Chains A and B, each alone.
Chain A
Amino acid sequence: MNTVETEQHLLALKVMRLTRPTLVGFGPIVTCEPKDLPQSFNRVVENDGIARTCAEALGAGQTMLLPQSFGNIYLGETFSSYICVHNCTTHPVEGVTVKVDLQSNTSRINLLMHENKKTSVVLSPEETLDDVIRYEVKEIGTHILVCEVNYTTPAGFAQSLRKFFKFQVLKPLDVKTKFYNAEMDEIYLEATIQNVTTGPFCLEKVELDSSEQYTVTSLNTLPNGESVFTAKNMLQPNNSCVFLYCIKPKADIAKDIKALREANNVGKLDIVWRSNFGEEGRLQTSQLQRLPFEYKDLRLEVIDAENIVKIGSIFTFQCRVTNTAEHAMKLHVSLETKVSADCAYTGSADFLLDTLRPGEVKEFPLSICPTKLGLVKISPLLLTDTLKNEQYYINKVVDVFVVDADYHQDGTFLLNKLIRYENPIESLMQKQVQLQVV
């Protein structure tokens, strides 16, 4: 804080930023064994009140120390400060009022002291007028805390004392998002949150608040309810954490392809973090826009498929094709299998579907037999519109995880739905997201 001192006044104005206290122990921890010295060093430890048994040498103290510097302040955190006006004369000073404003680049906010008290007071000698002011900072950049004390001198002159404290509000986190359009109208969102502060913090809450058209399932917990992240959501400076969400359009919208095309807002990310001794900050992203569904003339969904199959068994999956074009189609379905050692499955299909009028849906099953272990990608599927003689190549139809014949599925092996990426390169592009205070 930069202070601008003014001339001698009857009152003294003091300001101290209240960041969280720090926890300290009692001085350097030097221990010895009873045989080492005639007298133990450990007596000092008794001052700490609690007989520290085996943790006596741990530096995690219980004593709180008041903040000794202004520290950093980040967007979304609460700025709190102690304001104290002291009468340093030997006579009472009348008509004392304190006005505290926080000036940012775009706004000036008045912060109230003693909200319930009357506006002007008389300060007796050595008496203080003091309180804590709090404000959640909503803007990045330079802020100035303007403190103004008005009072009346014994001679009856109005006097004013002002102090300015300038500080910078910094950006705490970087949020980047990636969207994937998957089968069955599902959208997957990957949100990468990076700690750009100077110290570690803990992400207490990262939630995607869905918009009206969508429902959201968070995929960041294990089946037993624990977080997928180890022990805690702690983030060291510059480290990032990736959160995954599955977003589905609500039933009424999913049916209506037009409405689905228009529903671009999927929701906002709501982030709450805590740093040093529980100092809290919260931010929200702007509305996240999903990638447009790129159905040109037809849309292929895999509506039912196993996630895991055993090797040697038949893998059958149910496909649904929708005619999203303006004309009727008669589709020829052809699943080709390359005859090569690399191909992880055998089986092919070659059949003709009935005529599909615009907007009509047809379902059909496809079967293959996996011959290799691991993740098997079934591709390509060739759909040919025999009426217009147009070919549609579906490069990624479905993936299946092939396991050995003695495999037993347990609770931890809960794989998500199968994902088909339509435009891999475009959809992999990360998007920087704007942050705002809620």
Chain B
Amino acid sequence: MTNNPKGLSEYFANDPPSFFDELTNPKPREPQSEPEVNKPKTNMLASTFTGRYQPPEYVETADDAEEPIKVNDEVRNLWPSPAEQGKTGTGAPTHLVMPGLHIANDLGYGRSGQPAKHSPHSLQLWFTRLALLAKLGEYELLQAEAEPFGQLNALDVFYEFYPEMYSGKQGSIASFSFRLLLSEMPIYLGKPHLALDNLSKLHVISSEIKQHYEKSRNGNASEFWQRRSERVLHSIINCALMMKKYSMIDDIMGGMLLTRSSLSKEEQRSLYSAWGRIYLQIGDIFGAEQKFAVARRLREINTAPDLRDLVDKGLIAVANNDFPEAYLIFQKALHLDSGNTMILNNMGVCLLYAGKLKDAINLYERAINLNPQKSLNESLLVNLSTLYELESNNSKVKKLNLLRLINRFKPDLNISVEICLKLQATN
């Protein structure tokens, strides 16, 4: 550690305004309704940047009310540092070499390819970028850019590594969500077994931290970590789904996720409903009905079936090969939430299986006309393109029309346009 704080400040003082500054800029608000905008801001905003050195700061949400459990930074950042685990044997930790081009230029200002240090801010930016890449389905790029981070087990993503910067502060600079994203990444690349390994490690550590707080009787913190470990379990289930390990899903669902006493009824319902859908996928209608029934019973007594109940019921009808019935149920659900794309999408599928191709196409086209932004999603596009191909030899013209709409309303699909519109098809 030869760098001194001065060197670091120079490094950040040269930061030009970047694309990410805008991204992290909270939406402009009316001063009278939001008095806190007058408070001194610590954000690295291009507008507030006056040339004076500002310490690199983590951009926080102005409104933290949506956080279900409030904990302090110490609890949030707790993570076993590799030094504690006795992994220092490899010598001095390697500084990360900034990968990629765009962001490295922003951050390093022409220092791309040179060693750089991490800060909460830089890691937050990295997480943002990598998460957005995942969202956009740019998995190859994501893999390349995430590669230097490994599983965030290097010493330099911990506060302890920079005593001169963060005196006394301990824990991980990289957020838990960042760790989760890197662990999950192999799922996107079609290697769920690798992701499963990563996620299992993540789950073990988060459970240990949870137990640590449980022992020290810090109820809030243990609940906080409990939820994190549950979030990891969700990802493990997603791996298991890809690997078709259905008994593992059963064990996790019944034995771990549904055992927490503080689960709200709505949370339980959504878990049971998801569980039922997993059963449906393997053809266990009886099992699915049982899970859906539990979800239904957890609803407030004397209330009408809600969207979830109706969708569950509709999917059961589909599994029973009763597409006209399923259509009617989805139609009922649409009355509860008109314009719901998922339901419109499912209604179209039912129409086709009931022998009503034209009606299905009309339904989708109407949905797109009513709300192009919402309706032009990946699954509806694939379905509509499939219908166009089945209908006639003129599907190309119609797909071209869809392409125009996508260009206008929805440029960032997370599956490539070629796949969504089935452009590889021969007609």
Chain A interface residues (CB < 8 Å from chain B) = 12, 14, 16, 18, 20-24, 26-41, 44, 47-50, 52-66, 68, 82, 84, 86, 88, 126, 128, 130-132, 199-202, 204, 230-234, 236, 273-280
Contacts and interface: CB of A to CB of B under 8 A. Distances in A.
Contacts of A16: 386, 389-390
Main secondary structure of the interface of B (DSSP, over half): helix
A204 B285 contact: yes
Interface stretch (B81-89, B96-104, B155-163, B237-245): B237-245
Nearest to A42: B66
B105 interface: no
Contacts of B230: 54
B188 interface: yes
Given A35-B64, A47-B341, A273-B283, A53 B270 contact: yes
A30 B66 CA distance: 18
A158 to B, nearest CB: 22
Contacts of A36: 124, 127, 175-178
9 contacts: A23-B315, A41-B135, A52-B270, A59-B238, A64-B346, A204-B285, A236-B246, A273-B283, A278-B280
Nearest to A235: B282
Contact of A35 (B67, B246, B281): B67
A272 to B, nearest CB: 10
Contact of B270 (A29, A54, A59, A132): A54
A131 B357 CA distance: 8
A48 B282 contact: no
Interface stretch (B31-39, B47-55, B207-215, B372-380): B372-380
B277 A231 contact: no
Contact of B321 (A48, A53, A128, A280): A280
Contacts of B175: 32-33, 35-36
Q: Say whether chain A's binding surface is mostly helix, strand, loop, or mixed.
A: loop
Interface size band for B: 35 or more
A58 B137 contact: no
A49 B247 contact: no
Given A62-B342, A202-B287, 9 more contacts: A35-B60, A66-B352, A128-B357, A128-B391, A132-B354, A274-B284, A274-B285, A277-B283, A278-B318
B234 A199 contact: no
Query: Max chain B CB contacts within 10 Å: which of A38, A47, A273?
Result: A38
A55 B137 contact: no
B270 A55 contact: yes
A56 B230 CA distance: 12
A392 B378 CA distance: 77
Among B311, B321, B340, B343, the one with the most A-chain Cβ atoms within 10 Å of its Cβ is B321
A59 B188 CA distance: 12
Nearest to B385: A66
A39 B20 CA distance: 12
B345 interface: yes
B402 interface: no
B115 interface: no
Contact of B390 (A32, A53, A82, A204): A82
Given A35-B60, A128-B357, A200-B282, A49 B277 contact: no
B282 A54 contact: no
B127 A57 contact: no
Contacts of A29: 238
Given A55-B274, A66-B382, A28 B283 contact: no
Contacts of A84: 357, 390-392
Interface stretch (B9-17, B164-172, B260-268, B296-304): B260-268
A55 B379 contact: no
A29 B235 CA distance: 9
Given A38-B61, A50-B311, A59 B241 contact: yes
Contacts of A82: 352, 355, 357, 390
B18 interface: no
Contacts of A274: 283-285, 319
A65 B415 CA distance: 14
Nearest to B178: A36
A231 B76 CA distance: 38
B287 A231 contact: yes
B231 interface: yes
Interface string B302-323: 0000011001000100111100
Contacts of B263: 54
Given A28-B188, A48-B342, A232 B26 contact: no
A314 to B, nearest CB: 46
B417 interface: no
Contacts of A275: 282-283
Contacts of B267: 53-55
A230 B246 CA distance: 12
A264 to B, nearest CB: 35
